[in-house]
């Protein structure tokens, strides 16, 4: 068995029911993705538009592509219609643009709202308060071609597992408040994307429904 197949098989056995796996394949060649595909993996995560658009035609059409990187507004149009989900919506401006371009293209785009809870300044996203305000003010009602399916977030990059768990708890708590108190009429708001190679067990313990795992499956990235 190849290492990639071994890891996919191991993860599939290990992840609890209700937790989906996004195999993060950024910076890895299509041969590596094909190995994962042959092991049964169908959801892949990419973080750069150009790389994603180059990979799509080289791989089977039944792959669900998740975009997980910071999306520049000038790249939105190229991406619309190509993904199963854009996980990294980090501003209302980006969301409005995705909605406008999706409507123009005649497609519905599924997205996650990215939450910023980590200590690093460099991470993108809404603060929990900003996101709760967005839903409390029912600004999602103006969307015409975008379906908000949940939230995505990252924990602080640290060895402190208490801090990591509390970051994940904050993401999950924000999701639950929106879903049960702020906008209980929202439909299909059911995804909490959190957890990467180094921290996914902690994310699952806090309620993740979608883990994004790269280096554990594919090895170290060659930037
Ligand atoms: C690269 C990346 C991952 C995967 O990270 P690994 O540590 O390789 O598992 C997950 N989520 C996002 C947003 C990423 O950019």
pLDDT given for residue 171 in this prediction: 98
Q: Structure tokens of 52?
A: 């994603």
Instruction: Calculate mean pLDDT across residues 41-45.
Output: 98
User: Cα separation of 106 and 115, whole Å?
Assistant: 28
pTM for the full model?
0.97
Given ligand 1 and candidates 151, 196, 211, which is best to mutate, with the most ligand atoms within 8 Å of its CB? 196
- Measured by CA distance, the residue closest to atom 13 of ligand 1 is 68
Cβ of 157 closer than 6 Å to ligand 1, yes or no, is no
Dihedral of CA atoms 127, 160, 23, 132 in degrees, nearest 10, equals -20
Contact criterion met (CB below 8 Å) for 52 and 67: yes
pLDDT at 43: 98
pLDDT of residue 118 exceeding 90:
no
- Contact status, residue 112 vs residue 66, Cβ threshold 8 Å: no
- Which atom of ligand 1 has the smallest separation from the CA of 212? 10
Q: What's the average model confidence in pLDDT over 107-117?
A: 97
Residues 92, 18: Cα–Cα separation, whole Å: 29
Residues 83 and 48: their CA atoms lie apart, in Å, by 12
Cα 27 to ligand 1 centroid, rounded to whole Å: 11
- What is the SS3 assignment for 82? coil
For the segment 146-199, what is each residue's pLDDT rounded down to a tens digit? 999 999 999 999 999 999 999 999 999 999 999 999 999 999 999 999 999 999
CA-closest candidate to residue 211, choices 31, 14, 53: 14
How far apart CA 35 and CA 18 sit, in angstroms, is 24
């Amino acid at each position: 068995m190849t290492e990639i197949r071994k890891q996919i098989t191991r993860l599939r056995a290990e992840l609890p029911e209700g937790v989906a796996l996004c195999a993060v394949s950024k910076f890895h060649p299509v041969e590596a993705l094909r190995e994962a595909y042959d092991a049964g993996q169908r959801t892949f995560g990419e973080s750069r538009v150009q790389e994603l658009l180059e990979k799509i035609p080289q791989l089977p059409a039944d792959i669900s592509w998740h975009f997980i990187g910071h999306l520049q507004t000038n790249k939105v149009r190229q991406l619309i219609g190509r993904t199963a989900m854009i996980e990294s919506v980090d501003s209302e401006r980006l969301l409005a643009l995705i909605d406008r371009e999706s409507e123009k293209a005649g497609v519905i785009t599924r997205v996650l709202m990215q939450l910023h809870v980590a200590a690093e300044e460099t991470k993108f996203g809404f603060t929990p308060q900003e996101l709760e305000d967005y839903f409390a003010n029912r600004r999602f009602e103006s969307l015409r071609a975008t379906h908000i399916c949940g939230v995505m977030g990252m924990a602080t990059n640290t060895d402190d597992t208490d801090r990591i768990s509390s970051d994940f708890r904050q993401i999950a708590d924000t999701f639950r408040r929106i879903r049960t108190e702020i906008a209980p009429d929202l439909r299909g708001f059911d995804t909490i994307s959190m957890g990467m190679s180094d921290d996914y067990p902690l994310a699952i313990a806090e309620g993740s429904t979608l883990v994004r795992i790269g280096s554990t499956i594919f090895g170290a990235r060659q930037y």
